[in-house]
Amino acid sequence: MPLGAHRELGVFKAYMFNTGILVGQFPDSELYDFLENALGMYKGMLYENVFAQIFAEKGITNYYYEPNTSSEIDFVIQTKYGITPIEIKGGLHTRSTSFDNFIKNHNSKLAIRFSKKNISQNEDGHLPLTTVQYPQFLPLPSGILRVSSLQ
């Protein structure tokens, strides 16, 4: 069954199509922080907005997944490997219980995590944030990216 058939209209995240315009909505004092690469509490939101913008431009239909109020998956897409969760991490800390639980509960064959780390093939594998602009990375063969640790 296509992923869109499970869509819940009451559970969503809203993104601005242009991240530059989004950033322009912030007060000048915070814009100066952004110029110094001090994104603070906005880092995750800004990275997710950039990814949503790029996915829209590349024609990649994506969904937000929130099974409960303490758990979420940033993006879920349909690939030739099935339902594929995508987690966006703005820093070097890449652990996510929600992501791990999604992989386990949905038996995901492919799970993608973007972070500031370099490409990795181990159990904590991920892609650098900059690779999102190259849709040929979506999806990669399993074994390149993190695959369920239950295998």
pLDDT the model gives residue 93: 78
Looking at residue 25, the DSSP 8-state letter turns out to be T
How big, in percent rounded to 5, are the helix, strand and coil portions of the chain? Answer: 35, 20, 45
DSSP lists the bridge partners of residue 78 as 83
**Per-position pLDDT tens, the chain of length 151:** 667 666 667 777 888 888 888 888 888 888 777 777 777 777 888 888 888 888 888 788 888 888 888 889 999 988 877 888 988 887 777 788 998 899 889 888 888 888 877 665 444 455 656 666 555 555 444 333 333 322 2
pLDDT the model gives residue 5: 63
Domains of the chain: 14-137 (3.40.1350)
pLDDT the model gives residue 118: 65
CA angle 12/47/23 to nearest 5° reads: 95
